[in-house]
Every structure is written in structure tokens, then in C-alpha cells.
Amino acid sequence: MPESSVPVLSGMSLEELTGLVSPQPRFRAMQVFKWIASGVSTFDQMGNLPLPLRQEFAACCLLRPRTTVTRHRGSDGTVKLAVELADGTCIEAVLLADTSAPNSKAPDSGASASGTRYTACLSTQVGCPAGCVFCKTGSMGFVRNLDSAEIIEQFLLLRAEAESLSPKAPAPKGSPAELPVSNIVVMGMGEPLLNLGPLRKAVSVIGDSRGIGFSHRRITVSTCGVSAGIADLADNGPPVRLALSLTTADESLRRRLMPFTEKQPLGEVKDALLRFQRQGGGRVTLEAVLLGGINTRAKDARDMAGFARGLDATVNLIPWNPVKGLEFEGRALREPAVAEVESFSRQLKALGLNVTRRFRRGRGVMGACGQLGGYHPLA
């Protein structure tokens, strides 16, 4: 279990820190909050705090979760972090580098001074209960939820990686170019909406303008379709972007590919998405992992178009990333052929859908979609 018996300051809101430092002056909590936002790793680095207060914190609290981190760097700029937590369990977080986006140097793109756009991919659980047959994490089963500090820690670690890779250049205060990480995707290990409380708290801390100040609109949460969680997000926030891991809108096939969805019928999922949009949630992304010979039929295109009808949505096609040993109904999974992907894309567009293709990043270090959980790159 997380280190719940020891306060971990990096997972706390400013209000919680204020209560913790009492009867110290309130401004001390703000100082600590800002130091955490800056990425310090020890209390000794908090130079404007009195030494006795730093010593007091060190005796009773952790500044950040205890972790052991192993880095894997890919030739495409991807950095995968295998993070061993205090209880010996492991998660993975990924820094994705995009140097080829045509608008990466636009003022509002969130690109660094080098023109590289960095995205932090965060995990919310150790393992995953969804059991999707095409996902390495799904094959691990579920171990436990992460707490808010463990989620935030991934962002702090990945931001430090991005800072080490980005040349220092002056930028207007608060501008996207100043940000070493321009986007966060909660698409790592686990089903985020089954750990919504700690995720909501983590997003609140990361988005607090008095600290890190990361825009909620630059955070995307991906779910395999937890209807109650989507409705909760719609009603109670935070105002993040939402992606649905749909894969197929053929209900029977979806349940066989994604066993968790047996209790999440597509009708209920769509109703929750409509509620999310009525509450101002904006356009949603329908993610479709394309499996060679399985979900790229004309029927699949028609079913997906039917599901998308009435939604403000973009379909994001993700050709399956290889994972050894994964199979479906007795047959090894395979990547879809290029022609297969292009044909499916054309069919969706002909049916009136807005279609995008996932940029393939991280495969060399097993850091791409569906590959997390191996803790090591391909041999």
C-alpha cells in the first residue's frame, strides 16, 4: 500500500499544507507549495525556510514519495521511466517527444524553444483491472491504486527529464514555450476513472496556479468506458479533455476484446459522453486500437459511425503495437497492414467522421500504447 502513515507533502493541496504547518504563519505553506512545484527533492533545498522548520519536516514527513527510477531512452526521443514504489510495486511513465508536428513552433503549440513538443504520459494504477487482450498492462491484472503523490511524482520526474533535454532559452513568463512539458495524457497503466479521487486531487495540485499551474485543458484522461466515472467527471470536474478507448463499437466483439466492458454497455457509455459534453466538456476522442484482421471490417466502420453520431468527436486510429505473447481467441495478435489501416480510415471518413492517426512513439523501449508493464525495452 502507499505510505499512508507518513505525510507526503507533494501530494497535498495548498490548503492541506496550510493545515499541516499550523501554527506556523500561512505564508510558510505557500513557500513549501512553490518549492514542491519547482521540483526540489530535499527539504534542504528550501532556502527561505528556517532550518528548524526544515528539520521538523524531515523528521515527520516525506517531501516526495520514495522511488527507485530506471530510465530507458529511445532513438525517437522517448524516455520511459520504470518507477519502483516504496512497497516494491512498479509502474511506468513515459515522456514522448514530438519534433515533426507541423505547428510545433506555433506560439500556442506548447513546443519548447527547440521546436520539440513533450507530452507526459502518466499511470494511475499498478496493473489494470480492465483486462484488454491487446494490452500488456491488462495482462498483469490489478494490484492497487496510486495515491495523488505517486501520480504527481510521475509528472515531476518526466518534467525534469524534459528540462534536461531542452536547451535553455528565454521565453515570456507563463507562455507555452516556457513549459518543458506541453501536454499530459493519463493513458499509462490502469483505468483512471476507477481511481478518480486521487486522480482528481493530483490534477488539482498540478493545475493550481499558485504552484505548477498546468492548464487543465492540456490534460487528457483516457478511459475504457466507466460510465459512472465519466458522469462524475462531467458533474464535478476537473475540466480535462476526455478520450474513450473504444476499439470497436461492435458490442459483442468489444466485450471479448475488453472484458471489463461487459458491465459498461455502449449505450450507457454514450449517454455519459453526451452528459460530459452538455456540461461543457468539449470534443471527445474515440480511440480505436486497430488489430489486424479483427476490428477493421466495413461493419466495424459502420458501427463506429453509428456510435459517434450525435457526439462532437474525433476518431483516433492506433495501429496495434506488438507485445509478445498476446493473443485473441487462440490466435496471436498481429499489427494491421498499412493498406488495412488506410482502407479503414477511408471508410470512416466516407461515413462523415473526423479521423486522425496516432503518431507512433516509444516502441523501441516498450513505451507505446498498450506496451507498458514490461519494465524493459525490447531485446
User: Are 132 and 165 in a shared domain?
Assistant: yes
Residue 362 is predicted with a pLDDT of 55
**153 and 206 belong to one structural domain:** yes
Q: What is the pLDDT of residue 367?
A: 57
> Is residue 181 located within the same domain as residue 319?
yes
My answer on whether 37 and 167 are in the same domain is no
Q: Which of 56, 90, 92, 121 is catalytic?
A: 92
Check: CB of residue 72 under 8 Å from CB of residue 376. yes
pLDDT of residue 309: 97
Query: Does residue 253 sit within a domain?
Result: yes
> Tell me, what's the pLDDT at 345?
97
pLDDT of residue 365: 60
Domain ranges, residue 14: 9-60
Shared domain for 133 and 14, answered yes or no, is no
Residue 102's pLDDT is 46
92 belongs to the catalytic site: yes
pLDDT score for 109: 43
Instruction: Examine residue 370 and state whether it is found in any structural domain, yes or no.
Output: no
Residue after which a domain boundary falls, among 22, 39, 60: 60
Q: Are residues 126 and 210 in the same domain?
A: yes
Q: In what order do the strands lie in the sheet with 79-84?
A: 68-73, 79-84, 90-98, 117-121, 183-186, 219-223, 241-245, 284-290, 313-319, 354-357
Q: Which of 121, 128, 224, 369 is catalytic?
A: 369
Examine residue 248 and state whether it is found in any structural domain, yes or no. yes
Q: How many domains does the chain have?
A: 2
- Say yes or no: 90 and 163 in one domain: yes
Residue 190 placed within a domain:
yes
Same domain for 14 and 100?
A: no
Same domain, 29 and 146: no
Indicate if 165 and 27 belong to the same structural domain. no
The answer to whether residue 234 sits within a structural domain is yes
> For the chain (length 379 residues), average pLDDT per consecutive 10?
75 96 91 96 95 93 96 88 95 87 43 71 96 92 97 97 74 49 96 98 97 96 97 96 97 96 96 97 96 96 98 96 92 95 97 86 61 61
86 and 31 inside one domain: no
Residue 161 lies in a domain: yes
CATH code at position 315: 3.20.20.70
121 occurs within a structural domain: yes
- Residue where a domain terminates, one of 40, 60, 80: 60
What pLDDT, on the 0 to 100 scale, is given for residue 179? 67
- Catalytic annotation present for 121: no
Structural domain contains residue 379: no
- Whether 135 and 169 map to the same domain: the answer is yes
